[in-house]
Chains A and B, each alone.
Chain A
Amino acid sequence: MDRGDRRVFAGLSFSLESGNALVVTGPNGVGKSSLLRTLAGLVSLSEGSLNLEGGQSERSVAEHTHYFGHQSAVKPALSVKENLAFWRDFTAPAHVSNFDPKEYGAQDILEDLGIGHTSELPAAYLSAGQTRRLAVARLFVSPRPIWLLDEPTSALDANSEAQLIDLMNDHLRRGGMIVTATHTPLSLSPLQSLRLEALSIEDLAPLEEIG
């Protein structure tokens, strides 16, 4: 995978079963976010392929996937409810056979995440953590089996972090998949991990191995 003429990683291969989580760790700048963006179809592969077994054949892997990056994709000028309702209507849900999502209404998930009282307020009034929780809510209103979470717990307090981990475990139990890049240990199960390590400077290509 290349970004701006620079090889970020090569020879990387892994597979993930339904109901499993993969935690990607490694030092800053090694390519964790790049890996997630590649899986999300936002950066094209220079070699190799991504395959999803049992998905809807007419849809790409990215269209089975929720990407939750560093940016929250929340519009400050819209109310919390309007933000969420837009992503609910706009994001095409992906239904696959061995994934059984729990149906959430927009208000339900906002209540669950503790920001139900803000639903009529413009999103500009939310704190950083509340904005993050609003972004998390997006994953539940339009069910998709694969979640790509880039530093999901940043800006969250201990309670909401624990709650997010519960929700992630619930997603795994229902047959979903999670790939997450993180520095904080997350108690997910079943869990696989992938550690990206930078190779020596001369090679300019990080080594990768499956743990």
Chain B
Amino acid sequence: MRLLLIEDDTEAAAFLRKGLEEAGYVVDHAATGPDGLHLATTEAYAGMIVDRMLPGMDGLHIIELLRKEGNTTPVLILSAMDRVDDRVKGLRAGGDDYLTKPYAFSELQARLEALMRRGQAAPTETALTLGDLEIDLLARTVTRSGTRIELLPREFQILEYLMRHSGQVVTRTMLLENVWNYHFDPKTGVIDVQISRLRQKLDKDFETPLLHTVRGAGYCLRVPE
């Protein structure tokens, strides 16, 4: 898959590029706003990573211009500005996700994957399935191999989020942001405990585990090969 990286810090861009290429992406890099806009409008990309403060043109402005032209490529905004209203501004401009610097590469990769799959998922589903796991979004019920699994409302939300990103790595901060709307990281390992609770209910009585921990990155809900 081809990605566009618009980032003026060439060293950071080189690292990022290396990491992404190792993960199997083809990366084009633009170091200035106008160059980035030029590439974004002339080439087709599966996703874009855009820094906010760029020479020549603000990253948000690039996104706004692209969206105005009808370009719907998923965009992940990278920025050192981490206040909630900075995020809101970024998302309003047309960004699909917002990641603040410094970031863990695994976090960036997980979010990027989530973004690029999001485009394919139908938004008006009423049920999600993964292997023998099924959740009914209207009745808020979960069944596995026909057995009903009782979940707390918040556990259901976590599971729904994991289902929507099944096969991808979901990080702790993604869960905190999307399930709790917390934009900070509690010190106590609360998410780990929540996940292990959920795993207890999901996997304990079944042979194949679905909810996996990805060390140093997060969690992944998938059917093992």
Partners in one complex: no
Residues of chain A having any CB pair with chain B under 8 Å = none
Residue ranges of B at the interface with A (Cβ–Cβ < 8 Å): none
